[in-house]
């Protein structure tokens, strides 16, 4: 006689049936043994399901920034080369927006770390709500820097997204008494490439970083982007 316990595994992309325990009983079991074996099989099936769910949740958490709940640097570093290779095959554009909160150290020193954390969360939420097209990625790049990865978006489209981010932050109007602008602002660098074998994802990041530096040296609270 064979006893099988099955559970529905809903942690994958499609529901699949997993056999979690099988018992072969050669002789007729004593009274009550059948029920006990069945209970053990069901219990082990439930443990397996919980373990699968926990592993799925841990994997998801490993890709998120704990404070802002957007993707973290590790997630971005994994996604960028994947998109680069895909768009290189398709010969489609890839744009990158790199943002830095202006005078953020002054903000932290003036209003305290808790207020600084709330500011980071507000900026992250704004970016997430603005860069919402499927396939796009918003990540905390480090400290007060954020990055937006925009597959299949050319320079004109990326600049429009950067403009919407700038206007959205202006509308939030987060007070910053130690900034010349009187509110929290962003310096933004925008870069764009159609991926080629002769270039690399790191080249795109370097370009965005250079344009971010140009935005900072131009007085902050501005967008700088490469020429087409």
User: What's the length of the chain?
Assistant: 228
In which element (H, E) is residue 208 found? helix 201-217
Q: Of residues 15, 46, 52, 144, which has the active-site annotation?
A: 144
Token pair, residue 168, equals 């959205």
What is the rounded CA–CA span in Å between residue 15 and residue 72?
A: 29
**Beta strand residue intervals within the chain, DSSP E:** 2-9, 16-24, 94-101, 137-142, 145-151, 186-193, 223-225
Hey, what's the torsion of the CAs at 99, 101, 105, 106, to 10 degrees? 150
List Cβ neighbours of 133 (8 Å cut-off, separation of 6 or more).
150
> Using an 8 Å Cβ cutoff, are 156 and 225 in contact?
no
Between β-strands 223-225 and 137-142, what pairing exists: parallel, antiparallel or unpaired?
A: unpaired
Question: Are the CB atoms for 95 and 192 separated by under 8 Å?
Answer: yes
Query: Catalytic residue at 83?
Result: no
What is the C-alpha to C-alpha distance for residues 94 and 149, in angstroms, rounded to an integer?
8
> What letters, b where the CB count within 10 A reaches 16 and e where it falls short, cover 139-155?
bbbeebbbbbbbbbbeb
Q: Which residues are identified as catalytic? A: 144
């Amino acid at each position: 006689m064979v006893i099988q316990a099955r559970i529905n595994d809903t942690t994958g992309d499609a529901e699949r049936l997993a056999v979690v325990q099988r018992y072969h009983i050669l002789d007729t079991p004593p009274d009550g043994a059948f029920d006990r074996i069945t209970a053990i099989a069901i219990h082990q099936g439930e443990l397996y399901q919980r373990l699968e769910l926990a592993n799925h949740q841990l994997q998801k958490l490993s890709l998120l920034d704990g404070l802002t709940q957007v993707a973290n640097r590790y997630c971005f570093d994994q996604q960028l080369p994947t998109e680069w290779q895909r768009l290189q095959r398709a010969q489609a554009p890839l744009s990158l927006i790199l943002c830095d909160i202006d005078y953020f150290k002054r903000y932290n020193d003036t209003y305290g770390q808790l207020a600084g954390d709330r500011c980071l969360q507000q900026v992250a939420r704004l970016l997430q709500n603005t860069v919402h097209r499927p396939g796009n990625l918003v990540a905390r790049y480090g400290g007060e820097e954020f990055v937006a990865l925009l597959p299949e978006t050319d320079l004109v489209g990326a600049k429009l997204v950067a403009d919407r981010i700038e206007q959205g932050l202006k509308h939030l109007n987060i007070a910053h008494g130690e900034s010349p602008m009187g509110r929290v602002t962003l310096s933004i660098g925008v870069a764009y490439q159609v991926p080629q074998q002769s270039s690399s994802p790191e080249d795109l990041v370097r370009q965005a970083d250079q344009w971010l530096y140009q935005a900072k040296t131009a007085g902050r609270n501005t967008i700088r982007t490469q020429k087409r």
